[in-house]
Structure 1
Amino acid sequence: MALADDTTDAGTVESLTALHWVGIAAAAVTGAVHLYLGVQIGGTFGTAFLVATAGFAAGIAAVVLDYRRTVVYLLGIPFTAGQIVMWYAFNDVPPVPPIEIADKAAQIVLVVVLAALFRRERGG
C-alpha cells in the first residue's frame, strides 16, 4: 500500500512532475493570500488565516522534500476543500473581491491536483 512507503522514484526535487509544480504554485498562491489577509484582519480570525498559511507552507515543504507525499495529498484535500466551504459559509457572496477570486480559484485547482496526484500514486 502506498501509504506505508510512499517514496518516489528519485526522492528529490527532480522527482516532481509538472502536476506537482501546478499544485505547489496553487498552494503558494492561496498561502500568500491567507498570509496577507491574516495580517490585515489580525486578532483571532486573522490568526486562523495565519495557521492556514502555515498549513500550506508545510504541505509545500513536505511535497518538495518528498516526505510522505501520499499522506500530504490525502490531508490536503479536506484541508483545502474545507476552507472553500468555510469561506462560502462565512461570507456574503457576491460580490467577490478579486483577491478572494484568486484564492478560491487556486484552492479549486489545488484540490483537483491533489486528487489527481493521489490517484496516480495509487495506480488508478
Structure 2
Amino acid sequence: MRVATADSRVAWASLSTRHWLAIGFAVVTALVHLILGLEFLPHWMGIAFLATTAGFALGIALILLNIARQLVYLAGIPFTGAQIVLWYVLNEPTTVADLSALEAIDKIAQVCLLGALIVLLRRDRQPREPNHE
C-alpha cells in the first residue's frame, strides 16, 4: 500500500520561475504579517494580521498543489492590493522615511507580488500553441 505524502501532491513540474518568485514574495509578506500579528495580539489588529498571514499561506498552498491557480491569481491581486491600500490609510505616511524596515520590506514584497500575479494571470490566459517537434 502506497501512502501519499505532501511531497507527492505538490505539482513541482508545473511550477515556473514566475511561480517561485510569486511564492517567495508571498512568503515574505506572510512572515511580516505573522510577526506583526503576534506582536499586536490580543488587539484586533493582531487577529487581522494573522488572518492575512493565513490568506497568503492558503494562496501559496493552492499554487503548490496546482488547485485553481487562475482563481488564486485573480483573488490574490485585490487581496494584496488591499493590503497596500489599508496600510496607507491606517498609517498615512508622508515620506519614505516614515516607513520602518519591516514595512518597507513588506511593501516591496507586495508590489512585486502584485506584478508577479498579473504576469502569471496574463501568461496562463494566453492560448498555448501545440509543440510540433
What pairs up with 1:1-124 in 2 under 5 angstroms? 12-42=11-41, 43-93=43-93, 94=95, 95-123=98-126
Tell me the percent identity: 46
Return the alpha-carbon distance in structure 2 between the equivalents of residues 24 and 14 of structure 1.
15
- Normalising to structure 2: TM-score of the pair? 0.83
- TM-score (normalised: structure 1): 0.89
1:18-65 Cα offsets, whole Å, 9 max, x none, are 000000000000000000000001121110000000000000000000
Runs of 4+ in 1 over 6 A off after TM superposition: none
- Which amino acid counterpart does residue 121 of structure 2 have in structure 1? F
Task: For 1:16 and 1:107, locate their aligned partners in 2 and report how far apart those are by CA, in whole Å.
Answer: 20
The size of the alignment, in residue pairs, is: 114
State the shift of 1:77 in Å.
0.1
Q: Secondary structure at the match of 2:18?
A: helix
Which residue identity lines up with residue 36 of structure 2 in the other structure? L
Gaps spanning 5+ residues in structure 1: where?
1-10
Higher RCO (CA < 8 A, seq sep 6+)? 1
RMSD, aligned CA: 1.2
- Higher Cα radius of gyration: 2
